[in-house]
Amino acid sequence: MKTSATPPPGPPIRADWVPTHRHRKGGLYRFISRGILETDRSPVVIYDDAQGTVWVRPTSEFEDGRFEMLNR
């Protein structure tokens, strides 16, 4: 007898999390804050995803078209 397997559930999404940006590859992210990288004092953007992973990227990369602000 052949049974179909149920796919595992996706990663948890926090109920209070609302995305602010979409990456050009499709991922959704929420802007948290701007900061300064300690090693060279360069400006960075701090953001997270729905699973709670926190990311840090140079401001120049965040603003070069890789991320599109969502209109909410």
Q: How confident is the model at residue 14 (pLDDT cuts 50, 70, 90)?
A: confident
- Contacts of 65 by beta carbon, 8 Å cutoff, 6+ apart: 24
Q: How confident is the model at residue 7 (pLDDT cuts 50, 70, 90)?
A: low
Q: Please check the confidence at residue 12 and state whether its pLDDT lies above 70.
A: no
pLDDT in tens, 24-47: 999 999 999 999 999 999 999 999
Could you tell me where the beta strands, DSSP code E, fall in the chain?
21-23, 28-36, 43-48, 54-58, 67-69
Cα 47 from Cα 66, distance rounded (Å)? 14
Cα 59 from Cα 66, distance rounded (Å)? 11
Which pTM was predicted?
0.77
Share of the chain above pLDDT 90, in %: 75
Cα 12 from Cα 50, distance rounded (Å)? 8
